[in-house]
Structure 1
Amino acid sequence: MNYKLIFLVVPDPHADIDGALAQPLKEQQLDAVLAAPANAVESIQELIGQGREPSVVLVGPGIGNAASVARQIRTVWPVGQILFVPAGEQFEAVQTELRYVPMLGPNWSLVALGDPRLGEKLMRAVQASRQRSRLRTTLDRANVRLAEPKPVDSVAYRQSVISEHYLASLLQHSSDAIFSLGPHDNVLYWSTGAERLFQCRPRHNQQAAELPFWSAMLDALLARIHAGASPLTAKMSTVIDAQTLHLEVSLARVQDEHHTFIGTSISARDVSDVVRAIETERAGRHNAERLGRLKDEFLALLSHELRTPLSAVIGRTQLLRIQHRDAPDLQYSLDIIERNAKLQAKLIEDLLDVSAIVTGKLTLELHDIAVVDLLRAATDSVQAMTGARQLKLVTQYAVGAVTIAGDVHRLQQVLYNILSNAIKFTPEGGTVHVRASLVPHSLVQIVIEDTGCGIAAEFLPYVFDKFGQEDASSTRRFGGLGIGLSIAKQLAELHAGTIAVTSPGRGLGTSFTLRFPVACAGDGTGPARQHPALPAAQSRMLAQRRILLVEDAADTRELVKDVLSAHGAHVLTAASALIALDLLGSEALDMVVSDIGMPQMDGYQLIGEIRRRGFAGDTLPAVALTAFAGPLDRQRAFDAGFQAHVAKPYIVTELVATLTALLARQDQPVR
């Protein structure tokens, strides 16, 4: 035996050995001979014939039928050490398979690829092989001395008889059904386990085809056994006394000392409990997937129903502010209405984001983003909040023109959530600091620090938990659901970033530290946003344009009409997609603005029909104005035939900017 030689079974013997497997081989100074599963038996026989018997057989990762390969190797290498090394995702499946596989013997072990104990287990297997080889050498020498004919040793004879009793007891009390067939497939032996499992006794000279579980598939396997194949395994089902049994059946060829075929050994194991457990798990998984789909549909519907009225409230408020610029008392009231409506919209966004993040359905639109621009946009978004609370917002940016790769909307959401949290917990007259700098390992560090009420040490580990609040009592001073920081943490991590919080204690302020990797060339896909057209240019672009507005909600329909009309557009309205199609044939149009969630025919179907009638996107652009606002909804709108997507509740300026940008693109000459 070559103690330094390992026989490695891998899917592709011509490929490089996996690094996690190559390292322990190198550390133990072991050589490896590689073979594919189909050639494993032939290769190990060749090594043994060359006097290069390996010390250990490694069944490597990626082998789909690891136990079957090992059993084939056992036919030519019956007692050697076998070490199964499946990949992490295969570990449980291989472990379960080995639990139910007979005839592997005691000399095998199992360890996952990448387990730190791999090297130790490999060395133990080599040592066990060395010890067994020495013992075999000792026994061989003893056999030479005992080769001369001698009187029968009564002690040895008794031990032989006792061994036979042990074997007979093992066969009779095994829970598996065990059969022995003669060379003509007649039943020679039928274990007690077979009687218990199939609830019947054998008849004299009964044929294998008459066994209660026999099938055409087993006939085919038995023919292969006669042709020299061995061992073979099959999974099958049979009905015994109106009950379905799921069986794992193993067949092996039996030969005498001259390698003459003398029969077949068969074992049948009842795996019904395992099959039922798998079926139960599969049914549970399907049910969970169905419930997940129902939840997604419910959230989409809830989003639509909540966003639609908010869209009307915010839009009307913004329109009134534009129309009554010289009424300070009214402006004050409109500010309150809009601020609270936006808070409600933000709450809806947060709840939907939590669901999307937890289910792994949140997608990011990556761009190269200038850190300074990102921070300025975030601080601008909270200026009204800091002014209302008379707080000082101090910024210090030492990052130059550095960019990070990310989704600009989601990164602004991270910063807004932390900034609004700092503002909420800082008393009037306090200060919020925002600092950005470059730190080692090519990282951008953003620190948001406040002089607020601070966080108790015992609550710090739970700051980023969903719905976690230090004071959750009915008399608490600060509102909110406690999900903003949880969303911020998960979004930061989706951008390969980190977020940490520190606080000296109650009344001593809080500091949040964000770190993101600096963008390398090609990390993003270019600039994230373009600046919208200026208001005057927008009005000129919309003037005299004929726009078809399709919206089933009357409040929203009238609001959008008023907004576009105020910019000089001629707006035709339709309360349904069917009415819109009638107008389409009778009016010359420059653009279609349509809701998505409508009865009878939705917006996707409407735009599909418009495109089928020959109105292409470059001559009749279309904008989806909808409460279905997720990334997948946005992509679905584009796929259906829309050229832009505006989510409800929308900002009036955003809606107008989107329409003017589309019209400007349409007016550009083709080069």
Structure 2
Amino acid sequence: MTTPVVPAAAVQTEQRFQTLFEQAPFSVQLLSVDGRTLRVNRAWQDLWGAHEGDPLLEFVLSEYDMLADPQLEAKGVTPYLRRAFAGEAVRIPAIHYDPAEIGQPGIARWVEATARPIKTPDGRVAEVMLIHEDVTERLLAERQLRASEAQFRTIADAMPQMVFSTLPDGHSDYFNRQTYEFTGVPPGSMNGERWADIVHPDDREAVGERWRHSLETGEPYELEYRLRHRSGEYRWVLGRALAVRNEQGGLVRWMGTCTDIDEQKRTRDELLASNRRKDDFLAMLAHELRNPLAPISTAAHLLKAAPADPDRVQRSAEIIERQVRHMTDLVDDLLDVSRVTRGLVALDRRPVEMKAVLSHAIEQVRPLIEARGHELTTRMPSGDVHVMGDRSRLVQVVSNLLNNAAKYTPSDGALAVTMAVDEDVHIRVADNGTGIESELLPHVFELFTQGARTPDRTQGGLGLGLALVKSLVELHGGRVSAESAGRGLGAAFTVTLPVLKIDDPAASASRAAMSLPRASRRLRILVVDDNQDAAETLGMLLETLGHEVHLAHDSARALDAAAKGAFDAYVLDIGLPGLDGYELARRLRAQASGVAATFIALTGYGSADDKHRGDQAGFDHYLVKPADLGELARLLQGG
């Protein structure tokens, strides 16, 4: 039999194919149409760690049928192979291959593959070539990156600050959950440069300029500006960003935060403004106190220079008297504000007719009104209008408001005092004077606050009047408000007080006493108050109701009285000299005679913190002056 002669060209082609196949830089595996491996190249062996003599290589080249491998079927590879054997070039996605799954040693890998059919001239599939790509490192890196990104997002979402990142050119590509919760905008709606839409229009230029500077220089970004909150208002934030660089120093992105500092900034600004007002007040106080000293000093020199001139002595004495009176008034104002704002003023509460209060206040201020040529109009309701309060303090409230109106209204201006009644009494003092700036309006009732003065300083005073007005009105259970359209457009102040409905004002006090319940059982009561008038009047009232009352005006006498005999009830003021009422209550409770007694605080301190301290000190009841005497009577009876 004659052996066919293979043309030399064909041999040479086959050799070139073998060389190319073996030296190909990628893994190649040739499969027969029945799924068996015909040959593999060197790169395949390197990929799987299976070289000549290795069991895996021998197994793959002899026994292994890829179409019959249940592991490949489970991984979804077999359908791709069948498509390739049917004549279609297919891409097999990354699959984890482990030789141990077919009982052979080797290296597990993540591999992507391309299956290409090799066809005969007549179009029949003769073999399938598998080209493998080891993607293990890439997939592990991607997994690590995804895990790192998930960890970053978890941390970023847990942060109280808004967190963002941008590309090197400054275009935003990430915002954390807090950002969207703060702004209320849909996720993804601020990417790119759209984040600038929520910056306050007045801040956008500064934000953009500072951001461009950081992008150009790589310097850290830091700026305070306002962002639109989900509520629609703009809140102050502190924006910060740092450049992130690679190992070569190249800028790869920016990472930044926005911290809500709105409350801190407003508090800081308010503190600064308060300090400025305090400094202005102290400067004004120094000026007001120095002003009288100059004529006093001059008058003293005149007395020394001409002691025998009766006319000069008389005039000098009058000057000194006037200026000392002025200084005394200033000091009295300071002390009065201090006492009232600290709750150290006890009101003499009784029914007060408010028309008479307004008339008295107008008479007090009338000399100033006439001196400045103002026109004053009044409007009152018909009939008497009563409130429960301290008449002299209410006159002080209205006269302070009217005095302010007169001082801050240029000559020949117009003033108006009106009163209206519904469920409350509304007293309004208005003028067409210098008005109040919008930024000052919320602070006019605070200490150390005063509007701008004219160059001739005709207004005078220390600006304490409105703070005093607010405190006194609130002591009466009322409120006061201010309104002004702005500088030069006048101002109006409205005091609102609870109305007192009575038929016979002259008999109201006696009826009030008669309406208090008589004691169902006689109690031995110790009343402790350093205000002797307050203690005596309360003592007389309780005696009228049928109780035995003992008075003490300080803690030492109270402890001494309790040591001499037991009391059924103690009515204690808090602001006592020496031991305060809280400590006195504790000590009285500690005595055997005080264990079963009723302890009632009757004080001008009425804050929530004061009441909490009262509970801790052992008080059964806490009443704020001026108290409802009917309630006090009921509490003493255990009601």
TM-score bin (small chain)? 0.3 to 0.5
> How high is the TM-score relative to the length of structure 2?
0.35
Which protein has the larger Cα radius of gyration, Structure 1 or Structure 2? 2
